[in-house]
Amino acid sequence: MRPSPSIIRCHTSNASPSLRPWKADCRMRASSRPTVGPRPPSSPSLSSVSGTRILPISTSLSLTEPSSPARLCRMPSAAARLFDAMADTYDELEPWYEHLYAVLHTILRDAVGSAPFAGARALDAGCGTGFQTALLAALGWRAHGVDVSAGLLRVARQRLPGAALSLASVEALPYPAGHFDVVVSCGSTLSFVDDPARALVEMGRVLRPGGRLLLDCEHRPSLDLLWTLGSALTGDSLGYGVTPREAWRALNRRAGLRLAYPGYGPLWLFTGRELRRMLAAAGLVPVRSWGVHAITSLLPSTVLHRADPPRPLAAVYRTLRRLDAALASTPPARALSNSLVILAERAQPSA
Protein backbone atom coordinates (compact mmCIF):
# COMPACT_ATOMS: atom_id res chain seq x y z
CA MET A 1 0.00 0.00 0.00
CA ARG A 2 1.32 3.42 -0.91
CA PRO A 3 1.73 6.05 1.80
CA SER A 4 -1.18 8.42 2.29
CA PRO A 5 0.17 11.66 0.84
CA SER A 6 0.08 15.17 2.13
CA ILE A 7 0.60 17.46 -0.85
CA ILE A 8 2.09 20.94 -0.67
CA ARG A 9 2.88 23.16 -3.61
CA CYS A 10 6.23 24.82 -4.19
CA HIS A 11 7.55 27.18 -6.83
CA THR A 12 10.02 25.20 -8.90
CA SER A 13 12.24 28.22 -9.44
CA ASN A 14 13.16 28.64 -5.78
CA ALA A 15 12.66 25.31 -4.00
CA SER A 16 15.61 23.46 -2.55
CA PRO A 17 17.64 21.97 -5.40
CA SER A 18 17.25 18.57 -3.79
CA LEU A 19 13.50 18.93 -4.13
CA ARG A 20 13.08 20.51 -7.54
CA PRO A 21 13.66 19.31 -11.09
CA TRP A 22 16.55 21.63 -11.94
CA LYS A 23 16.21 21.55 -15.71
CA ALA A 24 12.44 21.17 -15.87
CA ASP A 25 12.28 24.78 -14.67
CA CYS A 26 13.77 25.97 -17.94
CA ARG A 27 11.41 23.93 -20.07
CA MET A 28 8.21 24.56 -18.16
CA ARG A 29 8.63 28.09 -16.74
CA ALA A 30 10.32 30.93 -18.56
CA SER A 31 10.88 32.82 -15.31
CA SER A 32 13.18 30.12 -13.90
CA ARG A 33 16.93 30.69 -13.76
CA PRO A 34 18.61 27.53 -12.45
CA THR A 35 22.37 27.62 -12.11
CA VAL A 36 24.06 24.89 -14.08
CA GLY A 37 27.58 23.71 -14.56
CA PRO A 38 29.59 23.78 -17.76
CA ARG A 39 28.57 21.71 -20.73
CA PRO A 40 29.90 18.22 -19.99
CA PRO A 41 32.29 16.30 -22.20
CA SER A 42 30.92 13.60 -24.46
CA SER A 43 32.55 10.81 -22.48
CA PRO A 44 31.21 9.94 -19.02
CA SER A 45 32.72 11.94 -16.18
CA LEU A 46 31.48 13.36 -12.92
CA SER A 47 30.42 16.55 -14.69
CA SER A 48 28.05 14.53 -16.90
CA VAL A 49 25.99 12.94 -14.16
CA SER A 50 22.26 13.13 -14.74
CA GLY A 51 20.75 15.80 -12.54
CA THR A 52 17.24 14.40 -12.51
CA ARG A 53 15.83 10.98 -12.98
CA ILE A 54 12.83 9.16 -14.34
CA LEU A 55 9.18 9.95 -13.87
CA PRO A 56 7.69 6.44 -14.00
CA ILE A 57 4.02 6.10 -14.82
CA SER A 58 1.82 3.45 -13.26
CA THR A 59 0.63 0.69 -15.57
CA SER A 60 -2.33 -1.62 -15.08
CA LEU A 61 -0.13 -4.64 -14.36
CA SER A 62 -0.58 -6.42 -11.04
CA LEU A 63 2.46 -6.98 -8.86
CA THR A 64 2.51 -10.67 -9.67
CA GLU A 65 1.73 -10.49 -13.37
CA PRO A 66 4.71 -11.09 -15.71
CA SER A 67 5.92 -7.85 -17.23
CA SER A 68 5.09 -7.56 -20.91
CA PRO A 69 7.36 -5.25 -22.96
CA ALA A 70 4.50 -4.64 -25.38
CA ARG A 71 2.22 -3.48 -22.58
CA LEU A 72 4.94 -1.47 -20.87
CA CYS A 73 5.37 0.66 -23.99
CA ARG A 74 1.70 1.68 -23.87
CA MET A 75 2.24 4.02 -20.92
CA PRO A 76 1.00 7.62 -20.70
CA SER A 77 3.38 9.89 -22.59
CA ALA A 78 3.30 13.13 -20.54
CA ALA A 79 6.30 12.23 -18.40
CA ALA A 80 8.20 10.83 -21.36
CA ARG A 81 7.57 14.03 -23.35
CA LEU A 82 8.86 16.14 -20.47
CA PHE A 83 12.12 14.24 -20.17
CA ASP A 84 12.46 13.87 -23.92
CA ALA A 85 12.36 17.69 -24.16
CA MET A 86 15.29 18.05 -21.77
CA ALA A 87 17.28 15.07 -23.03
CA ASP A 88 20.03 17.07 -24.76
CA THR A 89 20.67 19.27 -21.71
CA TYR A 90 19.92 16.64 -19.06
CA ASP A 91 23.60 16.20 -18.15
CA GLU A 92 24.22 19.82 -17.19
CA LEU A 93 24.63 20.03 -13.44
CA GLU A 94 24.35 22.45 -10.59
CA PRO A 95 27.12 22.13 -7.96
CA TRP A 96 24.53 20.57 -5.64
CA TYR A 97 24.15 17.58 -7.95
CA GLU A 98 27.87 17.35 -8.63
CA HIS A 99 28.42 16.81 -4.91
CA LEU A 100 25.52 14.37 -4.58
CA TYR A 101 26.79 12.13 -7.36
CA ALA A 102 30.40 12.33 -6.25
CA VAL A 103 29.35 10.92 -2.87
CA LEU A 104 26.91 8.43 -4.43
CA HIS A 105 29.58 7.03 -6.72
CA THR A 106 32.03 6.69 -3.85
CA ILE A 107 29.35 4.75 -1.96
CA LEU A 108 28.58 2.63 -5.02
CA ARG A 109 32.23 1.66 -5.46
CA ASP A 110 32.50 0.81 -1.76
CA ALA A 111 29.15 -0.89 -1.13
CA VAL A 112 28.62 -2.60 -4.50
CA GLY A 113 32.14 -2.78 -5.83
CA SER A 114 33.41 -4.85 -8.72
CA ALA A 115 31.45 -7.75 -10.17
CA PRO A 116 32.21 -10.91 -8.14
CA PHE A 117 32.19 -13.17 -11.20
CA ALA A 118 32.02 -12.95 -14.98
CA GLY A 119 28.49 -12.28 -16.21
CA ALA A 120 27.18 -10.92 -12.89
CA ARG A 121 24.19 -8.70 -13.75
CA ALA A 122 23.37 -5.23 -12.41
CA LEU A 123 20.32 -3.05 -13.15
CA ASP A 124 20.35 0.76 -13.17
CA ALA A 125 16.69 1.43 -12.33
CA GLY A 126 15.99 4.94 -13.64
CA CYS A 127 19.14 5.13 -15.74
CA GLY A 128 18.50 8.48 -17.42
CA THR A 129 21.45 9.11 -19.73
CA GLY A 130 23.36 6.14 -18.38
CA PHE A 131 25.89 7.51 -15.95
CA GLN A 132 25.40 4.86 -13.25
CA THR A 133 25.09 2.25 -16.01
CA ALA A 134 28.52 3.27 -17.29
CA LEU A 135 30.03 3.10 -13.81
CA LEU A 136 28.59 -0.37 -13.23
CA ALA A 137 30.00 -1.53 -16.56
CA ALA A 138 33.40 -0.08 -15.65
CA LEU A 139 33.27 -2.13 -12.44
CA GLY A 140 32.84 -5.29 -14.48
CA TRP A 141 29.10 -5.78 -14.14
CA ARG A 142 26.91 -6.85 -17.04
CA ALA A 143 24.94 -3.61 -16.79
CA HIS A 144 21.33 -3.05 -17.82
CA GLY A 145 19.33 0.18 -17.61
CA VAL A 146 15.66 1.16 -17.72
CA ASP A 147 14.00 4.56 -18.09
CA VAL A 148 10.64 5.90 -19.28
CA SER A 149 12.16 8.54 -21.57
CA ALA A 150 13.11 7.56 -25.10
CA GLY A 151 15.06 10.81 -25.39
CA LEU A 152 17.21 10.06 -22.35
CA LEU A 153 17.76 6.51 -23.58
CA ARG A 154 18.86 7.89 -26.95
CA VAL A 155 21.60 9.87 -25.19
CA ALA A 156 22.49 6.83 -23.09
CA ARG A 157 22.84 4.66 -26.20
CA GLN A 158 25.14 7.24 -27.78
CA ARG A 159 27.26 7.15 -24.64
CA LEU A 160 27.13 3.36 -24.26
CA PRO A 161 26.88 1.71 -27.69
CA GLY A 162 25.50 -1.80 -27.40
CA ALA A 163 24.32 -1.35 -23.81
CA ALA A 164 21.25 -3.28 -22.65
CA LEU A 165 18.83 -0.36 -22.22
CA SER A 166 15.04 -0.69 -22.09
CA LEU A 167 12.08 1.69 -22.18
CA ALA A 168 10.18 0.71 -19.03
CA SER A 169 8.82 1.87 -15.68
CA VAL A 170 10.44 0.77 -12.44
CA GLU A 171 6.92 -0.06 -11.27
CA ALA A 172 6.70 -2.86 -13.86
CA LEU A 173 10.21 -4.05 -14.71
CA PRO A 174 10.48 -6.23 -17.84
CA TYR A 175 12.71 -8.90 -16.27
CA PRO A 176 12.07 -12.28 -14.64
CA ALA A 177 12.31 -12.81 -10.91
CA GLY A 178 15.82 -13.11 -9.51
CA HIS A 179 17.45 -11.88 -12.72
CA PHE A 180 19.94 -9.44 -11.16
CA ASP A 181 22.70 -9.65 -8.58
CA VAL A 182 22.57 -5.89 -7.93
CA VAL A 183 20.02 -3.11 -8.50
CA VAL A 184 21.09 0.53 -8.28
CA SER A 185 18.49 3.31 -8.19
CA CYS A 186 20.08 6.75 -7.85
CA GLY A 187 18.79 10.24 -8.53
CA SER A 188 15.71 9.96 -6.28
CA THR A 189 13.89 7.65 -8.68
CA LEU A 190 11.61 6.45 -5.91
CA SER A 191 10.47 10.01 -5.24
CA PHE A 192 9.00 10.40 -8.73
CA VAL A 193 6.99 7.20 -9.10
CA ASP A 194 3.24 6.99 -8.61
CA ASP A 195 3.52 4.10 -6.14
CA PRO A 196 6.88 3.89 -4.29
CA ALA A 197 5.95 0.68 -2.48
CA ARG A 198 5.21 -1.05 -5.76
CA ALA A 199 8.49 0.15 -7.26
CA LEU A 200 10.41 -1.35 -4.34
CA VAL A 201 8.51 -4.62 -4.71
CA GLU A 202 9.57 -4.71 -8.36
CA MET A 203 13.21 -3.96 -7.54
CA GLY A 204 13.15 -6.70 -4.92
CA ARG A 205 11.45 -9.13 -7.29
CA VAL A 206 14.16 -8.90 -9.94
CA LEU A 207 16.95 -9.35 -7.35
CA ARG A 208 18.23 -12.84 -6.60
CA PRO A 209 18.15 -13.93 -2.94
CA GLY A 210 21.12 -12.26 -1.28
CA GLY A 211 21.32 -9.65 -4.04
CA ARG A 212 21.82 -6.01 -3.11
CA LEU A 213 19.88 -2.81 -3.75
CA LEU A 214 21.51 0.63 -3.51
CA LEU A 215 18.78 3.24 -3.20
CA ASP A 216 18.96 7.05 -3.09
CA CYS A 217 15.83 8.85 -1.83
CA GLU A 218 14.59 12.32 -0.98
CA HIS A 219 14.56 12.51 2.82
CA ARG A 220 12.69 14.30 5.53
CA PRO A 221 13.18 15.82 7.99
CA SER A 222 16.20 17.68 6.68
CA LEU A 223 18.03 20.86 7.56
CA ASP A 224 16.83 22.46 4.36
CA LEU A 225 13.21 21.85 5.34
CA LEU A 226 13.99 23.70 8.58
CA TRP A 227 15.30 26.61 6.51
CA THR A 228 12.03 26.43 4.56
CA LEU A 229 10.07 26.83 7.78
CA GLY A 230 12.27 29.72 8.93
CA SER A 231 11.81 31.45 5.61
CA ALA A 232 8.04 30.96 5.74
CA LEU A 233 7.85 32.46 9.24
CA THR A 234 9.80 35.56 8.16
CA GLY A 235 7.79 36.56 5.11
CA ASP A 236 9.60 34.18 2.74
CA SER A 237 12.88 35.98 3.44
CA LEU A 238 14.93 33.18 1.85
CA GLY A 239 12.76 32.77 -1.23
CA TYR A 240 11.48 29.22 -0.82
CA GLY A 241 7.95 30.22 -1.82
CA VAL A 242 6.25 28.12 0.88
CA THR A 243 3.64 29.26 3.42
CA PRO A 244 4.13 28.61 7.17
CA ARG A 245 1.33 26.05 7.15
CA GLU A 246 2.87 24.16 4.24
CA ALA A 247 6.33 24.19 5.81
CA TRP A 248 5.01 22.95 9.16
CA ARG A 249 3.05 20.19 7.46
CA ALA A 250 6.18 19.11 5.60
CA LEU A 251 8.07 18.74 8.86
CA ASN A 252 5.35 17.03 10.91
CA ARG A 253 3.33 14.85 8.55
CA ARG A 254 3.62 11.25 9.75
CA ALA A 255 2.47 9.59 6.54
CA GLY A 256 4.04 9.98 3.11
CA LEU A 257 4.58 13.54 1.93
CA ARG A 258 4.43 14.75 -1.65
CA LEU A 259 5.55 18.14 -2.93
CA ALA A 260 3.65 19.33 -6.00
CA TYR A 261 5.53 21.31 -8.66
CA PRO A 262 3.74 23.33 -11.36
CA GLY A 263 3.97 21.60 -14.72
CA TYR A 264 6.01 18.75 -13.30
CA GLY A 265 4.13 16.62 -10.83
CA PRO A 266 4.34 15.54 -7.20
CA LEU A 267 7.52 14.39 -5.50
CA TRP A 268 7.65 11.94 -2.59
CA LEU A 269 9.76 12.66 0.49
CA PHE A 270 10.39 9.80 2.92
CA THR A 271 11.39 9.32 6.52
CA GLY A 272 13.83 6.54 7.33
CA ARG A 273 11.03 4.66 9.09
CA GLU A 274 8.78 4.81 6.02
CA LEU A 275 11.57 3.50 3.82
CA ARG A 276 12.40 0.65 6.20
CA ARG A 277 8.74 -0.36 6.32
CA MET A 278 8.43 -0.42 2.52
CA LEU A 279 11.73 -2.26 2.14
CA ALA A 280 10.57 -4.92 4.60
CA ALA A 281 7.30 -5.35 2.69
CA ALA A 282 9.35 -5.88 -0.48
CA GLY A 283 11.50 -8.56 1.18
CA LEU A 284 14.53 -6.27 1.46
CA VAL A 285 16.66 -5.92 4.59
CA PRO A 286 18.60 -2.64 5.17
CA VAL A 287 22.32 -3.19 5.74
CA ARG A 288 23.89 0.28 5.77
CA SER A 289 22.82 3.87 5.21
CA TRP A 290 24.34 7.27 4.49
CA GLY A 291 23.15 10.87 4.46
CA VAL A 292 24.14 13.32 1.71
CA HIS A 293 23.62 17.08 1.85
CA ALA A 294 23.34 17.37 5.61
CA ILE A 295 26.41 19.50 6.38
CA THR A 296 25.98 21.49 3.15
CA SER A 297 22.47 22.40 4.35
CA LEU A 298 23.92 24.44 7.19
CA LEU A 299 23.41 27.22 4.65
CA PRO A 300 20.02 27.61 2.89
CA SER A 301 19.92 26.05 -0.55
CA THR A 302 18.37 29.20 -2.01
CA VAL A 303 21.45 31.13 -0.87
CA LEU A 304 23.98 28.52 -1.98
CA HIS A 305 22.64 28.19 -5.49
CA ARG A 306 22.42 31.74 -6.68
CA ALA A 307 23.90 32.41 -10.08
CA ASP A 308 27.56 33.50 -9.79
CA PRO A 309 27.83 33.31 -5.97
CA PRO A 310 30.48 35.47 -4.30
CA ARG A 311 33.88 33.83 -3.94
CA PRO A 312 33.72 33.64 -0.13
CA LEU A 313 30.38 31.82 -0.35
CA ALA A 314 31.76 29.41 -2.95
CA ALA A 315 34.77 28.73 -0.72
CA VAL A 316 32.51 28.02 2.26
CA TYR A 317 30.46 25.63 0.14
CA ARG A 318 33.57 23.71 -0.95
CA THR A 319 34.51 23.25 2.71
CA LEU A 320 31.00 22.11 3.58
CA ARG A 321 31.10 19.60 0.72
CA ARG A 322 34.29 18.03 2.04
CA LEU A 323 32.81 17.73 5.53
CA ASP A 324 29.55 16.39 4.16
CA ALA A 325 31.33 13.61 2.26
CA ALA A 326 33.53 12.70 5.22
CA LEU A 327 30.59 12.49 7.65
CA ALA A 328 28.01 10.86 5.35
CA SER A 329 27.90 7.61 7.34
CA THR A 330 27.39 9.25 10.74
CA PRO A 331 24.01 9.26 12.55
CA PRO A 332 23.59 13.08 12.43
CA ALA A 333 24.12 13.10 8.66
CA ARG A 334 21.61 10.31 8.17
CA ALA A 335 19.08 12.07 10.40
CA LEU A 336 19.23 15.51 8.75
CA SER A 337 20.26 14.85 5.15
CA ASN A 338 18.36 15.87 2.05
CA SER A 339 19.27 12.57 0.36
CA LEU A 340 19.16 9.28 2.26
CA VAL A 341 21.13 6.43 0.70
CA ILE A 342 20.30 2.86 1.76
CA LEU A 343 22.03 -0.43 0.96
CA ALA A 344 19.61 -3.35 1.35
CA GLU A 345 19.75 -7.09 0.66
CA ARG A 346 17.13 -9.40 -0.78
CA ALA A 347 16.11 -11.73 2.04
CA GLN A 348 17.13 -15.36 1.70
CA PRO A 349 14.22 -17.82 1.44
CA SER A 350 13.25 -19.59 4.66
CA ALA A 351 14.64 -23.08 5.08
The CATH code of the domain that includes 259 is 3.40.50.150
Q: How many domains does the chain have?
A: 1
Q: Is residue 164 part of a domain?
A: yes
Q: Is residue 282 part of a domain?
A: yes
pTM: predicted TM-score of the whole model, two decimal places: 0.75
- The mean pLDDT value for 299-306 works out to 78
Residue 12 predicted with pLDDT over 60? no
Q: Is residue 351 part of a domain?
A: no
Query: pLDDT tens across 65-74, in order?
Result: 223 322 222 3
Q: Is residue 62 part of a domain?
A: no
Q: Is residue 65 part of a domain?
A: no
> 3-class secondary structure for the chain?
CCCCCEEEECCCCCCCCCCCCCCHHHHHCCCCCCCCCCCCCCCCCHHHCCCCCCCCCCCCCCCCCCCCHHHHCCCCCHHHHHHHHCHHHCCCCCHHHHHHHHHHHHHHHHHCCCCCCCCCEEEEECCCCCHHHHHHHHCCCEEEEEECCHHHHHHHHHHCCCCEEEECCCCCCCCCCCCEEEEEECCCHHHHCCCHHHHHHHHHHHEEEEEEEEEEEEECCCHHHHHHHHHHHCCCCCCCCCCHHHHHHHHHCCCCEEEEECCCEEEEEECHHHHHHHHHHCCEEEEEEEEECCHHHHCCHHHHCCCCCCHHHHHHHHHHHHHHHHCCCCHHHHHHCCEEEEEEEECCCCC
Q: Is residue 249 part of a domain?
A: yes
Q: Is residue 59 part of a domain?
A: no
Give me the pLDDT at residue 44, please: 30
Query: pLDDT tens across 214-268, in order?
Result: 999 989 878 887 888 888 888 888 887 778 877 776 666 544 455 444 444 557 8
Residue 303 belongs to domain spanning: 6-53+71-346
Q: Is residue 100 part of a domain?
A: yes
